[in-house]
A and B are shown apart, each in its own frame.
Chain A
Amino acid sequence: GESVGLHLPTLSVQEGDNSIINCAYSNSASDYFIWYKQESGKGPQFIIDIRSNMDKRQGQRVTVLLNKTVKHLSLQIAATQPGDSAVYFCAEFGNQFYFGTGTSLTVIP
């Protein structure tokens, strides 16, 4: 099956700093990517998506960067807040979605 991996399983940042969460994907044919946020005991929530014809997309305090050359996806969170503490995982879509294992983000007040 597909392999969607994250470079770091955990990330701790100071409140107010920027966070960067990385994701490597394996299928060069994947053309749609989503970042999800999952708080403890809850279902994943959509954060932001990007299609393969773009290399950057911005939302409110979040930016997703796509580097198709090296099959790498990143999520940048600006001015990280305590409410951002959660597990973040990426998903790639080729003929179905494949989900990464996630990075646990902890925001230190």
Chain B
Amino acid sequence: DGGITQSPKYLFRKEGQNVTLSCEQNLNHDAMYWYRQDPGQGLRLIYYSQIVNDFQKGDIAEGYSVSREKKESFPLTVTSAQKNPTAFYLCASSMLGGRDGYTFGSGTRLTVV
């Protein structure tokens, strides 16, 4: 079955650590996205990529980094510069342009300990 897989489901980070969240899709989608979800807030765009080896900052990119070396993969690194990283992170993918909607992964809950 085609889909989008995020791992791990739960992740704990110590102060000052970088952590990487995985996102893999086998839908042959060109575009991939990372969103952050906090209680009572809508999804906020962190980074997106429409093509391999290219990505753009979203509304809240500070403290995050991404790479897009393969069409299927779009990992997100939460760096120590992100001062409030505890959140639910969602990866999504779509056909180029996104006009037919996004397919979301099941999310990763990151907690700072």
Chain A positions near chain B (C-beta within 8 angstroms): 1, 4, 9, 32, 34, 36, 41-46, 49, 89, 91, 93, 96-102
Contact = CB atoms under 8 A, between A and B. Distances in A.
Nearest to A101: B42
Interface in B19-70: 35, 40-43, 45, 59
Interface residues of B, number: 19
Contacts, number: 41
Contacts of A89: 42
Given A44-B90, A93-B99, A100 B42 contact: yes
A43 B42 contact: no
Contacts of B90: 43-44
A9 B102 CA distance: 23
Given A41-B107, A43-B107, A44-B90, A101 B41 contact: yes
Main secondary structure of the interface of B (DSSP, over half): loop
A93 B41 contact: no
A12 B1 CA distance: 35
Nearest to B103: A46
Nearest to A1: B59
Contact of A97 (B59, B98, B106, B109): B98
A97 B31 CA distance: 13
Nearest to A31: B99
